Structure 1
Amino acid sequence: MQQFGSFREFYPFYLSEHANRVSRRLHFIGSWGVLALVATAIVTGNAWWLLAALACGYGFAWVGHFFFEKNRPATFRHPFYSFAGDWVMFADILRGRVRL
């Protein structure tokens, strides 16, 4: 397993694991879904929506990995950096730094 001393070292690896455009799009859609479901949990006061948010985010991402990237999600090896990478990539897509 590859080791990283910082998130700054990890992020280029993370992006290389998301080279497939469909996979990036699925991650992006999943992240929007997470935001919507977390907002729903807050508005309704129903914490069960947070489980739906987890399933949405990881579900879309894992479909991208297993069916389009044909690799194992970085979540299995680097869960915290991978979680951060999802949101940094989401922000980078919104900023136009990563192509969707």
Structure 2
Amino acid sequence: MTTTDYATFAEFYPYYLSEHSNRTCRRLHFIGSSLGVILLVLAVITVNGWLILAALIQGYAWAWVGHFFFEHNKPATFKYPLLSFRGDWVMWWQMLTGKIRF
């Protein structure tokens, strides 16, 4: 299996979106990312480092359920961790603002 090298995020993002064509998978990403943000805010407010770990687990667990059970593919984060992290937040924002169907 070959891996494409993306020079820019703009090149990567269409691939990222193609890996998230299933609506349930996108919804699960949105839920996990939103819970992650809430937990990070709580971690700062309560000065509780464990909530940072919980935020990461929540963010990835919901997304991976979406990939393995609904999208039926491997998360892009396994091949492109930094680009995928950025892609998660761009897609989250685009879903929040209505650019991508929720």
Same fold by TM (over 0.5)? yes
Alignment of 1:73-92 (within 5 A): 73-92=75-94
The answer to whether structure 1 residue 48 and structure 2 residue 47 are counterparts is: no
The answer to whether structure 1 residue 96 and structure 2 residue 79 are counterparts is: no
The answer to whether structure 1 residue 63 and structure 2 residue 65 are counterparts is: yes
Counterpart of 1:41, as a letter, is: A
Which whole-Å CA distance do the structure 2 matches of 1:54 and 1:94 have between them?
Answer: 20
Residue of structure 1 in register with 2:13 after alignment: 11
- 1:37, CA displacement in angstroms? 0.3
- Stretches of structure 2 lacking an aligned partner (at least 5 in a row): none
- 1:2, CA displacement in angstroms? 1.6
Moved over 3 A (4+): none
- 1:94, CA displacement in angstroms? 1.1
- 1:3, CA displacement in angstroms? 1.5
- 1:72, CA displacement in angstroms? 0.4
Residue of structure 1 in register with 2:28 after alignment: 26
Q: TM-score, normalised by structure 1?
A: 0.98
- Note the aligned Cα RMSD (angstroms): 0.5
Counterpart of 2:26, as a letter, is: R
- 1:95, CA displacement in angstroms? 1.3
Figure out how many residues of one structure are paired with residues of the other and give that number.
100
SS where residue 88 of structure 1 aligns? helix
Q: TM-score, normalised by structure 2?
A: 0.96
